[in-house]
A and B are shown apart, each in its own frame.
Chain A
Amino acid sequence: MSDRTIIRDGDVDTPVVAEYEATRRDLMRRGLVVGGTVLAASSIPTLLNVRNAFAQGETDAQILEAAIGLEQTAVFAYTAAAASGKLDRGSTAAAKHFAKQEQEHADGLTTALQALNGTPPPKPTRPDQVKGLAQAATSAAGIVKFAIELETMAVAAYYDAQQKLRDAKLLQTGASIMANEGQHLVVLRTVAKQNPVPYAFETGETR
């Protein structure tokens, strides 16, 4: 697994990619990003801030705050997807199920953060607070693509966190959540008619 970051072509304009690259390079220079990640450029605007918050977290509490923010974003996105009317019955049920599991992650992480005297970040309450969601929610294919990007980013963030968290139980919790996000990816990739398990090492990289 390399420490190199590669941005592939996607739906994002050049300034956004440049911003991501600059931020990532700065984090790498400061030693705050441990694992290399290759991302589809289209995933950048949605979760750039969340992923960077993960990468910048220095303490367990800071990493937990970022993780809760990511899970809350996922809950909001899956709930919106389920209510969009664009998914068939089975996919709607899956979206509701995934929203419930993301909420379980958020609840578990919030309990851990509160034990460290931390305060969880505010939840998103409007679609415009999750960049790219409104555009994605106009079709089933767009929703699935957005969800794949969301889960891929989550896996990458938890992969990074494994190398920074210090508490033993948080390390285990993070790995068990990362594994669940990987299982979500299996379902989503299957719907998108992609290889459901393309990588022996699921790091959130796309190659």
Chain B
Amino acid sequence: MDVDSFLRDPVSRRLFFRGSGVALAGGSTVLLAACGDDDGDAADGAAAGGEFRNPDVEILNSALDLEFTAVAAYRAGAVLLKGSVLAVGRRFLEQEQEHADALSQAIRDLHGTPSRPKPTYDFPQLNSQTDVLRFANDLENTAVAAYIDAIPKLTTPKLRGTAAAIVTNEAEHISVLLGALGEDPIGQTPDAFVVGEK
């Protein structure tokens, strides 16, 4: 499925973070109790015997794929951006890369293997700055929706905090992008509960 189809299909977006065997927070309590503690050491089983795979790794790798997509999109769209909007695009690209770097490190900390960026991404045809802003807005909304889905499935409390900090940053990107598309402050903050689905 290409990125455009993915963005238009809410079912696919939700399935993105719905890895097999990933429990909600209530279930994760039992899992963590079986593994020892709840301070982020749930991957110890994987390190010791290789039989237990931390479910957070799969979720983080899905998030990492989204961040790589965002980095590629901002990089591809930069050629159509000008002036202050180009500066915004570059800043957001750097921030998405920071997310990717942090997620990669978190995966390694859990003894997992981080995903790698794809060689190419199948983006829709972008012909203007407005096209880029709208596409970036779609991507950011997709990221917010995916992270909101993922947060209760993460078993490590600190990772839930990190995911929420990333969600908030993506939501901030959305507000800036909406502003660049001409929205006033009220239009930049349309929803009291930001869940990334419009």
Q: How far is the CA of A191 from the CA of B151 in the complex (A)?
A: 32
* Contact A183:B193 (CB < 8 A) given known A172-B152, A174-B164: no
The number of residue pairs between A and B whose CB atoms lie closer than 8 Å in the complex comes to 154
Please report which residues of chain B, range 77-100, place their CB below 8 angstroms from some CB of chain A when the two chains form the complex.
91-92, 94-96, 98-99
Interface centre among A1, A101, A158, A202 (most CB of B within 10 A): A202
Asked if A175 meets B167 with Cβ closer than 8 Å, knowing A93-B186, A183-B189, the reply is: yes
Minimum CB–CB distance from B134 to chain A (whole Å) comes to 18
Q: Is the CB of A155 within 8 A of B98?
A: no
Interface string of B159-172 (1 = CB under 8 A from A): 01111111111111
User: Quick check: A168 and B24 within 8 Å, CB to CB?
Assistant: yes
| Chain B, interface residues (CB within 8 Å), range | 35 or more
The one of B163, B184, B191 in contact with A90, judged by C-beta atoms closer than 8 angstroms, is B184
| A171 & B160 in contact (Cβ 8 Å cutoff) | yes
> Which partner residue on chain A sits nearest B193 by CB separation?
A176
Partner-binding segment picked from A9-17, A50-58, A193-201:
A193-201
Per DSSP, are chain A's interface residues mostly helix, strand or loop, or mixed? helix
**Which residues does A use to contact B, with CB under 8 Å?**
1, 34-35, 90, 93-94, 97-98, 100-102, 104-105, 108, 155, 158-160, 162-169, 171-187, 190, 196-197, 199-203
Can you sample 20 A-B contacts with CB below 8 Å? A34-B157, A93-B186, A94-B186, A97-B189, A105-B192, A155-B168, A168-B152, A172-B152, A175-B163, A176-B167, A179-B164, A182-B169, A183-B188, A183-B189, A186-B189, A187-B175, A187-B189, A190-B185, A201-B98, A203-B161
